[in-house]
Chain A
Amino acid sequence: MKHSDVLVIGAGAVGNAVAREISKKQNITVTVLEKEPDVAFGISGRNSGVLHAGFNNKPGSFMARFCVMGSEGFEREAEELNLPFRRTGKLVVARFEEDRKLLLRLKEQGEANGVRELRMIEQDELEQLAGYPAGIAALWSGMTGIFDPFQYTVALAEAAASQGTEYFFGRKVVSIEKDQDFVITARNMLDGETEFYSTAVLINCAGLYADEICKMAGIDQYTIYPCRGEYHILDRKDSSLPIVPIYPIPNEKEGGLGVHLTPTADGNLMIGPSAEYLPEGWQREDYSTTGDVMGKLKREGMELLPSLERADCIRSFAGVRPKLVSEHQGGYADFVIEESGMVPGLINLVGIESPGLTASIPIGRMVAQMAAEILNRVYGDQVIIPKQSSTVETSESGLAQSSHQADSVDTTNDDSTQDHGDQKMLCRCEGITEAAVLAAYDRILKIGAITTVKGLKNRTRVTMGNCQGSFCTLNLIELLKEKRGVDPLTLLWNGFGSVMLKGSVRP
């Protein structure tokens, strides 16, 4: 049985941020169990990718506090994680006179939360910032930004792994026992075998299933109400689309921010998300898009930007919010982040919905502190000290370098070309070379994850362009086979069971 000091369930942004902060401390061993083949397969890979400023949340809440902390100084984190990030600012647009007082209320709430750079703007300035006549007035938030949620979640995991965190993918936690230590039973999704892991501190970062993990530990007090949000992604070609996020007045009752327009870190524009509670007993990870909502998104998007009428949608997707309030109750509940009173040593993070991505690093810090305190309590001595910062490798440069050294004995140039592929274009729409894809492949293996097309896509954007993979899928399959010996017939598209091909024409 594998033992560690701390075990984290879930390799989303939150679980990875937690693991990264804890593994900064010396002498603590950290294990992460994730049921999917790779990181960012849950809601961390299905959201708006907005670094929120923190004016939408109630003063004094965890949501408000951690969101503001996450937003302040994110440049530094982005640099450390080698993550492209732009503080674009954001507009909340009033279309009618009576909306003004709602904007003012948002502004006041934001200021109470300590959000900087909030400003009411009038029609002229709004038109200038939005690039078209969007409404009669707006709240401008200068601290809001955009980043790529996949790359972010990956970078957190790579940082954690480089500090010694051990990841186990394809391990679904099915039961939890507590004696002296916790004993966690996981099903290996690859071979169906049962495995056991023991730990002193257990941290539940299971996103949509955080309530189920609680139940496994005998805690019945939480229920997650999955609430789906669908999105459209528009063709990048249209340069007349806005470059700042544009939001409507939030609908308090729905408990979402309303259908908004968000430019992605890569220059596409997203419309969404909608907000539909999934029926009770429904499969929570149902990321389907529905005909009705697809129509509705377009209509609501057009209220914000009439010219969307002509825009081409290249892809739709959906995320699911792990809400702690039912449709009937409406609105938001605060994040639950606490050590269980009933089961000491278990830290639960439940209901981490928006702005969970923004808040993930400060959440990670607080949880790391909580974990350290528990360990001190359990082990009874003070062994836990922060690591020297110089041993903390940043993900990209550190990994790229070490994988290079590991692969090529002889470090002459020709040799490394052999191993790492060449500059040949693989995905023309996104301008991704073979070398870039192979580097991503190697990075997947490096954190112990399992290769999937989605994982490569999350790291490089391969197949995400205008052709949506119709040009490059073939070459991708071929490249992985030739250069890394991946059997095309077992290659996964995303989750376990998602084989891409159904055998050979002529075996």
Chain B
Amino acid sequence: MRIQKDVIIIGGGPAGMAAAVSLMERGIEDILLLEKEDRLGGVLCQCIHDGFGLTYYRKNYTGPEYAAIYEQKMVENHVPFLTEATVLSVRSPQGGENLYQSLVTVQTAEGTTCYEAKAIIAASGCRERGRGLAGIPGSRPAGIYTAGTSQALMNLKNFMPGRSAVIVGSGDIGLIMARRITLEGGRILCVVEKEDVPGGLQRNIQQCLEDFGIPLFTRTVVSNVYGKERVEGVDVESIDETGKSIPGSLRHYDCDSLILSVGLIPDEDIIHDRHKGVFLCGNALYVHDLVDDVSLEGQMVAGQVETYLIKLSEGQEPDETRYSYHGIEAMRAKRADLLLRKKEAARKKAETGAKTITCIMCPNGCEITHDLNGGMCAKGPEYVKNEILNPKRTLTTSVRVTGGTLPLVSVKTTGGIPKDQMMEGMKLVSELFVTAPVEAGQLIRKDFMEEGIDLIATKSVKKAAGNFA
């Protein structure tokens, strides 16, 4: 038996949740959101760092906090959803005129179920490029992880992927992981990037590498991996414009792991054939730097689906298909523009030797001089003033939980603590314990490092069923 729905939303990350909530608000209620993990939130659950919601909410949330906003909206709007439900495929049913254009096969603990839907919103996120795609030669030992996997290992499961690492690729996740591993007592020997400018946001270059003195080598690649069973070391080499290695540039690092942050690929493999009524959004459409854009896109797609359903019900030939969303071009242009500016700024810096500080308050990354010129808005000079006089950082990390469904709860400081006191802060954090249940926002430690700055939980952790281990 096939269950019929107006709309099926695949993926309970920010894109899927925003779309589903927006559909309900538009009165389209015969919908179902399917999520393969045992929780909503998508990749945000493991992004315990801050920097989410800067442009849309004008707030600096951590990933779990941002996710919680939408989980709340899901509850308020009574959005029907299933977790631990993996969509295996989306196809168009064979033959016959049918309002229900898509056949969705779903796997749950009980087995396989088939749904039919008039429209599909595929918000299944993206997957990470791995070693094969990065073409890294050498041995094939344990200890080679993608940045996202290491992030999940550390932040969700309390495991260290390694104690000393070289990071390949300067994408944001790699940069975030450089800081995360350093804060937890590991050593990042360097980050290598094969392009001539780093891939990640300036904010992350500053706060994740420069703050900790981690070197970043551009136009550099990993040319060999050593170790039969576990990574024992890697060679890195500089390359010229044509990609050829520069003789004499080889350097060796002893390390026990290699972390890959070599790009993300929209994950739409489940869409088996291209047919009408399939709408993509979020990272499944293209990889977004900012979650704020993802949420907006989710709402927009809900609008398109509404139009589509109306046309369908009126017997008109609907023309909206998965390709109707033109945000991709806009995004490409924006990216190209940002890259150009990055290169230009790097060139200028090198040429004039001008001392500037890069503003990290938004992705624009304006270069601000010491006499506070060069910002595209007032936040820049303000930031630079603080950065010179009294640089502060929000500390995001996690604290051990006893008796919870998760081993750790993510935490943050409610304000900046002096930049040079972060490692001390970590020492304090590592000694803390909380007992489940923990509520998001719960005070973990009052006046942490400094009066008026508290350490609070950024997600909720339920009490585990059964005995406490």
Contact = CB atoms under 8 A, between A and B. Distances in A.
Given A289-B138, A314-B130, A470-B148, A497 B109 contact: no
B464 to A, nearest CB: 12
Interface residues of B, number: 55
A5 to B, nearest CB: 34
Nearest to A452: B142
B111 A474 contact: no
Contacts of B107: 423-425, 431, 433
Nearest to B37: A475
Given A288-B140, A314-B132, A425-B86, A505 B160 contact: yes
Interface string A122-146: 0000000000000000000000000
B6 interface: no
B152 A467 contact: no
B228 interface: yes
A467 B256 contact: no
Q: Which of B110, B154, B160, B162 has the most CB of A within 10 A?
A: B160
Given A423-B111, A424-B108, A474 B400 contact: no
A425 B163 CA distance: 31
Contacts of A425: 36, 86, 88, 107
Contact of A478 (B108, B112, B157, B257): B157
B141 A498 contact: yes
A467 B132 contact: no
A498 B398 CA distance: 27
Contacts of B111: 423
B84 interface: yes
A283 interface: yes
B128 A470 contact: yes
Contacts of A376: none
Interface in B225-270: 225, 228-230, 256-257, 269
Given A288-B138, A313-B132, A501-B153, A428 B36 contact: yes
Nearest to A493: B142
Interface string A472-507: 011001100000000011001111111111111110
Contacts of B3: none
B319 to A, nearest CB: 27
Interface residues of A, number: 53
B140 A488 contact: no
Interface string B135-150: 1011111110110110
B312 interface: no
Contacts of A469: 130, 149
B139 A286 contact: yes
A289 to B, nearest CB: 5
A288 B142 contact: no
Given A495-B228, A505-B184, A237 B153 contact: no
A468 B131 contact: yes
Contacts of A494: 141-142, 229
A288 B137 contact: yes
B229 A495 contact: yes
Contacts of A467: 127-128, 130
B126 to A, nearest CB: 10
Q: Which of A317, A425, A473, A497 has the most CB of B within 10 A?
A: A425
Contact of B160 (A286, A315, A503): A503
Interface of B: 36, 84, 86, 88, 107-112, 127-128, 130-133, 135, 137-143, 145-146, 148-149, 152-154, 156-163, 184, 223-225, 228-230, 256-257, 269, 398-400, 407-408, 430
Given A289-B137, A313-B133, A498-B141, 15 more contacts: A291-B137, A315-B130, A316-B132, A428-B86, A428-B88, A467-B130, A470-B145, A478-B157, A493-B141, A494-B229, A495-B229, A498-B230, A504-B158, A504-B159, A504-B160
